[in-house]
A and B are shown apart, each in its own frame.
Chain A
Amino acid sequence: MLFLKGFKQRLIYRANTVIQLLSSFIYFFISINVWSALYRGKNEVSNISLLDMLTYILMVQIVKSLVKLPISQYVANRVTAGNIAIDFIRPTNIKYCAFFDSIGSAVFTVLLFSIPMFIIGSIFWGIILPIDFKQWLLFILSLSFAIILYATMDYIFGLTSFWTKTNYYIGWINSALMVLFSGSVIPLWFYPKTIRAIASILPFHYFIFEPINIFLGKVTNKEAIIIILSQSIWIVFLLLIERIVWHYAKKVITVQGG
């Protein structure tokens, strides 16, 4: 139900949606220019061709809008505004409210963005979709795990606002880590060894880079399964941390406003 509500809300604010769509197109257009310029005079870099790269940046837009749900923002906004008091007496967990409220609007963006982009992409740049059924299945699995993993992590980020009483920093820190380690700007293939090693210890590459890596068929089926297993281990680990943080957060809560 909440899912549909989020979807419908987006239909109402039509002007906003159009603007968001237009700027996505501009960013996509800039990325195409940048990568084409980088690849000028080169066929393959780290075994990746320009066509792979164009498919990659198109997939980043889609995966990012599904994975990067504004969970922490939802939680922190309610804490700083004092609405959190109501959430404590509600029968549903605030975590699920935040999740389903935002996934509806994310699916909306993807449907509106990805279908036209793939059509344009295949006409102008020859972008093709994988045809292997197993590859699709593994991609969808790892994407779903990425969504859950990110939501759990971002929820923990949001809970820190119980202590700090502000939400401003969360978005900045979160996006800094995403920019550096998730592969949302440059895929990890192109990183120097040491930075790649750091990135692979952290969970961020499981959000965007690895699902697309599977989608592009740059990993074997076996490696893909290992990726999905690691994602689930991270989920269990973060759920445990979330439990602990929530346990202490409940005790420090002060409701602002009245």
Chain B
Amino acid sequence: MTEYPTAFWAETFSKMIGWAANLIVIYLMVLRFETISNWSAYEVLLLYSMNATAYSLSGFFMYNAFGGLSQHIQMGTFDEMLTKPVNPFLYLCFKGFGTGYIGNLISTLTALVICFMKLNISLSFLSVIYFLIIIFGSTLIHSGLFMFTNIPVFWFVKNDALLSFRWALDEFIRYPVSIYDRWIQILLTLFIPMAFINFFPIQFFLKKQDFIGFNPIIVHLTPVIGLVLFFSGYLFFFWGIKHYKSTGS
């Protein structure tokens, strides 16, 4: 960051603009049609910015650590991590800590605040704490996704297909999950629980009841799902290391 100030600011600023453009356009889309599946333009913007905030927060630690895993293994530089006398998981996360997501975070947090104000969501001290817990849970879900899409490189070296699949899934939860066919709703709730990142938990704050046939308790499950995904990702990582055979060099 300090070595290349121009590059840092160019990156931060351009990412900020890029994400802001996506946020604005989704708002404009719903605005013209008033609602999508009974969600207003600001409510959809809130869905998107919540997902994007959780993704950015998780990206600070996870992007370099796991996004770069495939390359580390191909180049044979992963072996170095195993020689350090610390937990390789923590070593990876902290070594990879990057400032690349500051721009994204500025845009998404701005959008979050605007949505909360425009939707007149009254926040008491307790509900702010609760919202932070939810965001933490969503961040853990995104971190789990980073892990589960990248750790298979211990077995297969390449993971392009999994990554594109993940980006495609991310596109699904920009919109209320209730607009999709039943099988996609079930997929996003029970099998790849991405609906818990934004769609279910935000309904508690919006006082909505768009539970697509599930028990209303579902709005509170995000932190639990986050913890389960994160720790199973953690175990998956160590299982992966056990199977890891260096590519040499």
Contacts and interface: CB of A to CB of B under 8 A. Distances in A.
Interface of A: 15-16, 19-20, 22-23, 26-27, 30, 33-34, 36-40, 42, 45-46, 164-166, 168-169, 172-173, 175-177, 179-180, 185-186, 190-192, 195
Given A37-B37, A164-B10, A169-B14, A179 B22 contact: yes
Contacts of B206: none
A108 B43 CA distance: 40
Contact of B18 (A19, A27, A173): A173
A38 B17 contact: no
11 contacts: A15-B160, A19-B164, A23-B167, A30-B168, A33-B179, A34-B175, A166-B4, A169-B10, A176-B22, A180-B21, A180-B25
Interface string B10-50: 11011101101110111011111100110000000000000
Interface of B: 4, 6-7, 10-11, 13-15, 17-18, 20-22, 24-26, 28-33, 36-37, 160-161, 164-165, 167-168, 171-172, 175, 179-181
B18 A172 contact: yes
B224 to A, nearest CB: 28
Given A166-B7, A192-B28, A195-B28, A45 B17 contact: no
B18 A186 contact: no
Contacts of A173: 14, 17-18
A33 B175 CA distance: 10
A192 B161 contact: no
Contact of A186 (B15, B25, B36): B25
Given A15-B161, A168-B10, A179-B25, A30 B171 contact: yes
Contact of B17 (A165, A176, A185): A176
Contacts of B4: 166
Nearest to A173: B14
Contact of A23 (B6, B32, B168): B168
A37 B25 contact: no
Binding site secondary structure of chain B: helix
A212 to B, nearest CB: 17
B28 A190 contact: yes
A180 B24 contact: yes
Given A23-B167, A173-B17, 14 more contacts: A16-B160, A19-B160, A22-B164, A27-B168, A30-B172, A166-B11, A169-B13, A172-B14, A175-B18, A176-B14, A176-B21, A176-B22, A180-B25, A191-B32
A179 B11 contact: no
A247 B86 CA distance: 54
A23 B164 contact: yes
B126 to A, nearest CB: 34
Contacts of B15: 172
Contact of A166 (B10, B21, B26, B164): B10
B160 A169 contact: no
B7 to A, nearest CB: 5
B18 A37 contact: no
Given A27-B171, A30-B172, A177 B29 contact: no
Q: Which 9 A-B pairs have the closest CB atoms?
A: A169-B14, A176-B21, A172-B14, A37-B179, A172-B18, A190-B32, A26-B168, A169-B10, A38-B33
A30 B169 CA distance: 10
Contacts of B13: 169
Contacts of A190: 28-29, 32-33
Contacts of A168: 7, 10-11, 14
